[in-house]
Amino acid sequence: MIMEFDEEEIKALHNLYNAILTLKTPEEMHLFFKDLCSENELFSMLHRWQILTLIDEGRSYDEIIRMLSPEGKEKETSGRAGTRVSSTTISRVKACYNNPEGGYRIALKRLKGDKE
């Protein structure tokens, strides 16, 4: 999937990215993304990140679905009983993960570098 943005949209995206870069703590980021995204959009991003970290650990599709599906969790969070991850989403995340020049790789590498 190729995303095409016109010049004005690219400027707006850069402005958004620069706004995100001004945030200094996870708490500030949470407040910002809570305002920017709907609850479902935030859950979608969270699930993609969780999928990414599980792929990075070498987990299989079945394990990921089981681990991130509400019935597979020890504690269910109210309001999200039907929220599931799909094999399509896992496949898309994995394709991006396998791109050595993608954004996921940059973020994972930096997070791992911070922990080492």
Give the Cα separation of 54 and 47 in Å (integer): 10
Task: Output the average pLDDT for the chain.
Answer: 87
- Percentage of the chain modeled with pLDDT above 70: 84
- Does pTM surpass 0.85? no
Asked whether the predicted pLDDT for residue 116 surpasses 60, the reply is no
Query: Measuring CA to CA, which residue among 15, 18, 45 is closest to residue 30?
Result: 45
Q: In 3-state terms, what secondary structure has residue 38?
A: coil
Average pLDDT estimate for 102-110: 93
Average pLDDT estimate for 69-88: 62
Q: pLDDT band at 83, cuts 50/70/90?
A: low
Query: Helix H segments across 1-116?
Result: 7-21, 26-36, 39-56, 61-68, 87-97, 103-115
The answer to whether 54 and 64 have CB atoms below 8 angstroms apart is yes
